[in-house]
Structure 1
Amino acid sequence: MGGIHGAVPGSAGTDRRRPSTVSRTGGYVPLRDYAVIGDGRSAALVARDGSVDWLGLPDLDSPAVFGAVLDVDRGGRFLLEPTVPYRSERRYLPGTNVLETTFVTPRGTVRTTDALTLHDEAALAPMRELLRRIDGVSGAVPMRWSVEPRFGYGTRTTRFVRRAGVPVATAGADALAVCAWEAGEPRCEGEAITGGFFTSPGGSALIAVPFARQEPLVLPARVECEARLQRTCAAWRRWADDRIYTGRWHAAVMRSLLTLKLLVFAPSGAVAAAVTTSLPEHVGGARNWDYRFSWVRDSAFTVAAFLQLGCPAEAHAYFWWLMHASHLTHPRLQVLYRLDGGAHTTEEVLPWQGYRGSAPVRIGNAAADQVQLDTYGELMQTAWLYARAAGRLDADIARRLAELADLVCATWREPDSGIWEVRSAPRHFTQSKMMCWVALDRAARLAAHRSIPDGHLARWQSARQEITAFIETRCVSPRRNCYVRSAGTEDLDAAVLLGHLYGYDGDLQRMRATITAVGQELRHGPYVDRYSGEDGLSGSEGAFLACSFWLAEALAGTGRLAQATELMDDLVRLANDVGLYSEEIDAATGDFLGNLPQGLSHLALISAAHAIDAASEEASG
């Protein structure tokens, strides 16, 4: 299948849980060194050296208060580390999204526990709260900490005051306090609130950072913070214990599901693509996009994962959010929507240097205005999955879905920007046509089950046949007898594998040849590039992780189970030390690239694991 198996850059031959030194280049850590914590409303990136380098408040898509991952000088952060040389190791507390980091120094060992606490309905609590507990394990370790908030992506003036003796940073209606117990006396120094202390064996310090916007800032007592931390751990464990997966890759699937839960925006049920913006697909390049939105492209994988793993409430909330958001632009689907369901996603550029000089730093996403016909197939597949699980669809939603099928009949012949959102002239992308076929096929199935009106069923079936004819005559390489990236080209596209995964009813031998061609020409070891050919953008990029998982799933689906399992085992080893994946990986170095944690990477892992498990069970009888 092409490529070299065995050594995996950045992981093979090493113990990812082994304590390691932490280094920064120009103030930036490798993206692999980040873990994520969250509370269903916002999320933070925590570096291996204990620095919180990203946190939007009050919501995941709000302006960053800590943004050092994108500008080490102007972004702001919450630093917490020993003042002597150290190595560190970390893990998530089992069944949770609470992070534990252990610092090993010549003077002793110290352990930190980081969490964005879950909302406490029973008592007065901060709007948002970041807790960091520091426990002495051995020796006396000197520690330092510094909270450097930069409100509104650093564009707003920050004032430092004291309330009831507690230092508070404010900017307009935003207020952020720093409550410290046994962590040294907080001091306001320049644009930061700082402190230092020594740990002792069995001793414990705590730093709480409560945040409020346009409401009273709650200054909690230590006992309340400790109780909330315990309740947060318990709540995550209860949620994880109710999930369902017993297959070969249990640890990877469960961590992926817990990561996906962090991307669920609790107030609406939307699922964000990632918690960050503008982390580069190539260091120093311009392929830097804002992923703090919800893409229709991810919807079918998302609902399938929720239903497969026993998360019906999340599936229900997400489906209804999707229906409400898409109603704003009906019958046209927008490529992506804001987490609150809004359609306005204007793209702007911040005056930040970007991760390791990777500018521009963008907020907003202009791809929302593109035509991407594949989204209709994703939405109809989502509706089909949901209807099978729920047993029925609301009458208004059923009518709208039928109207979407009518729109596909009218528009499938048009060129579009495709799943990869190319910013060059639209084309007749093969995967887009296949997903139009999926849209009409699922519409026909829904109509057959009386889930949507069937008045135009014959029209949908006729258009589905026309799409098949277009694909099989214009989107094929005569030389290789495989499907190509777009009509009239010889380029390959790993996204065409989705046609197989969603059951496109074309030429099976041609699809098998496509899977083989992708493996031979786009794959390098476990890494798979998105496509060959140009895309109208400058610069290069890494291998797209979801494509690797799609290939593993496609191999299993076409009887190549041993190859699928081997590839899946390689891919699971590509996660960082706490089981997270970014959008892309540099195949030469193993470095993470792109926004993280990337929802689609984790969704593709879950889908591939289920498919390979099912194929293994079938093969064993």
Structure 2
Amino acid sequence: VALDVRFDWGRRKPVITQGSNHLRYVGDELTLRLNTDASISHVLSKQPFVLTREHNFLLGADESLLDGIADTARLFEQETISYWKKFSRTLHIPLEWQEAVIRAAITLELSLFEDTGAIVAAMTTSIPEAPGSQRNWDYRYCWLRDAFFVVRALNSLSEVGTMEDYLRWLGNVVVQSKGGHIQPLYGIGLERELPESIMVHLGGYRGMGPVRVGNQAQEHFQHDVYGNVVLGAAQSFHDHRLLHRAGLAEFKRLEDVGEQAVHNYDKPDAGMWELRTRARIHTSSALMCWAACDRLAKIAHVLKLRERAAYWQGHAAVMQERILRESWSEERQAFAESFGGRDLDASVLLMIEVGFIDPKDPRFIATVDALETHLCDGPYMRRYEAPDDFGKPETAFNICTFWRIDALARIGRKEQAREIFNTMLAARNHVGLLSEDTHPVTGEMWGNFP
């Protein structure tokens, strides 16, 4: 048994102290304790030894156990199993795919920072999106582009408590913004400054660096955030299950977010894919700004604010007409990545996710066909076709594949959608999870996890 504790991204060794049944690993800001009924000498020496009975290892905070090591280990195991069984019992799940949905729900719950209600994008940093690509990013933060999908997932699962916690975090983002710019991402404690640096002493996943800590995307202007904030927060005005439903005060703060959407919907930005060296008027950003105005109008109706409803409906109508006109490419017979552009991008599939266009609209069906032809490798879908800061993406982006599945189902191609969905389920690893990306040839997982 070997335990080699390091602090400060592997740069600092701890001071090790020992007791009769424990080892303490003392760092400058954190101390870990290993309680065990195995030989402390064997653990310290890292020498192999013959097992003649069961041994227990408890690694955690520097606290003494209230009971014996074996009894505590069994208790922790039983309580963990019991907790997740109780959690799963309250979920609303479909008849089909129950195991997959429960596994995903548990993973979403594990991504929650309970203290603030924040939900992180992933648990890892710097697993490359493709072999040797240097597309290595730190995903251990909270992206506002996830807000709509997080709230929708929690609502579908009927996991109201977690949803309310997340809505609280989202509300704090709005309050902190004071009607101004909203960043694409924040820390779990609403930290705004997330400076990006490279850990040059670390080789990286399978030797494929760099290892990044922090994320420069905090500096970006990504105008889709305004729509995602309003889309997520809208639930708090409509859901009678919530202990704290939103009212007029919250609506007024959300209107400030809407004004940012009105001002920025036709301005160039980095887009939802966070391009670092190229700015365009991205269709997906304009689309989400439309969604902000559309949902504000609906909230105003709920609050019986007719004038405000008309105001936001007016802005939504203007945006919708322009987006439909400016993003359509006659050459490609599809909605393009950006206003006046020709490049294809999977993010335009969000048009039906937010109710922007009828899925049976011939233009949307033609767009799906174009994306199927140019962005799909078998069951998998890439994000976009235009080269970015690192060239052309090599791997498929799993969330885009699921947008594709939803789009196919909504335009009536349900058998194809089901076939691709089952392929994605089969692609999960031994614990039933997917990473960010999949290599379309090898089927290997890449990108941050889960």
- TM-score, normalisation: structure 2: 0.93
Structure 2 equivalent of residue 363 of structure 1: 213
In the TM superposition, 1:569-584 aligns within 5 A as 569-584=422-437
User: For 2:366 and 2:311, how far apart are their aligned partners in 1?
Assistant: 31
In the TM superposition, 1:100-119 aligns within 5 A as none
1:589 aligns with 2:437: no
Could you give the per-residue CA deviations for residues 410-429 of structure 1, whole angstroms, max 9, x where no partner exists?
22121111111111221011
Q: Secondary structure at the match of 1:147?
A: coil
Cα pair distance change 1:219/1:589, threshold 3 Å: same
Report the alpha carbon displacement of residue 456 of structure 1 after superposing the two structures with TM.
4.2
Does structure 2 conserve the Cα–Cα contact (< 8 Å) formed by 1:210 and 1:219? Answer: no
Aligned length: 442
Higher helix share: 2
Q: Secondary structure at the match of 2:178?
A: coil
1:467 aligns with 2:313: no
List alignment gaps of at least 5 residues for structure 2: none
Q: Secondary structure at the match of 1:146?
A: coil
User: For 2:18 and 2:265, how far apart are their aligned partners in 1?
Assistant: 61
1:224 paired residue among 72, 76, 97: 72
Could you give the per-residue CA deviations for residues 521-567 of structure 1, whole angstroms, max 9, x where no partner exists?
11111110001102223574410000001110111111111111111
1:345 aligns with 2:190: no
Structure 1 equivalent of residue 350 of structure 2: 498
1:374 aligns with 2:224: yes
Does structure 2 conserve the Cα–Cα contact (< 8 Å) formed by 1:346 and 1:365? Answer: yes
1:314 paired residue among 150, 155, 162: 162
2:35 paired residue among 163, 179, 190: 179
Does structure 2 conserve the Cα–Cα contact (< 8 Å) formed by 1:528 and 1:544? Answer: yes
Q: Secondary structure at the match of 2:217?
A: helix
Structure 1 equivalent of residue 113 of structure 2: 265
User: For 1:521 and 1:527, how far apart are their aligned partners in 2?
Assistant: 11
Report the alpha carbon displacement of residue 455 of structure 1 after superposing the two structures with TM.
4.8
Does structure 1 conserve the Cα–Cα contact (< 8 Å) formed by 2:133 and 2:390? Answer: no
1:147 aligns with 2:17: no
Structure 1 equivalent of residue 271 of structure 2: 418
1:395 aligns with 2:248: yes
1:205 aligns with 2:44: no
User: For 1:195 and 1:257, how far apart are their aligned partners in 2?
Assistant: 40
User: For 1:288 and 1:549, how far apart are their aligned partners in 2?
Assistant: 23
Does structure 1 conserve the Cα–Cα contact (< 8 Å) formed by 2:34 and 2:58? Answer: yes
Report the alpha carbon displacement of residue 199 of structure 1 after superposing the two structures with TM.
3.9
Report the alpha carbon displacement of residue 233 of structure 1 after superposing the two structures with TM.
1.4
Alignment-mate amino acid for residue 302 of structure 2 = H
User: For 1:534 and 1:169, how far apart are their aligned partners in 2?
Assistant: 47
Does structure 2 conserve the Cα–Cα contact (< 8 Å) formed by 1:243 and 1:309? Answer: yes
Alignment-mate amino acid for residue 350 of structure 1 = M
Could you give the per-residue CA deviations for residues 161-185 of structure 1, whole angstroms, max 9, x where no partner exists?
2235532211123212222224674
List alignment gaps of at least 5 residues for structure 1: 1-144, 598-621
Does structure 1 conserve the Cα–Cα contact (< 8 Å) formed by 2:174 and 2:253? Answer: no
User: For 1:423 and 1:156, how far apart are their aligned partners in 2?
Assistant: 33
Q: Secondary structure at the match of 1:416?
A: coil
Alignment-mate amino acid for residue 64 of structure 2 = V
Report the alpha carbon displacement of residue 196 of structure 1 after superposing the two structures with TM.
3.6
RMSD of equivalent CA atoms: 2.0
Does structure 2 conserve the Cα–Cα contact (< 8 Å) formed by 1:183 and 1:196? Answer: no
2:140 paired residue among 292, 295, 301: 292
Structure 1 equivalent of residue 174 of structure 2: 326
Could you give the per-residue CA deviations for residues 167-225 of structure 1, whole angstroms, max 9, x where no partner exists?
22111232122222246744424xxxx3544345xx4221111224xxxx335631223
Report the alpha carbon displacement of residue 247 of structure 1 after superposing the two structures with TM.
2.9
Q: Secondary structure at the match of 2:155?
A: helix
User: For 1:554 and 1:188, how far apart are their aligned partners in 2?
Assistant: 56
Alignment-mate amino acid for residue 253 of structure 2 = R
Higher strand share: 1
The percentage of aligned residue pairs carrying the same residue is 31
Does structure 1 conserve the Cα–Cα contact (< 8 Å) formed by 2:119 and 2:188? Answer: yes
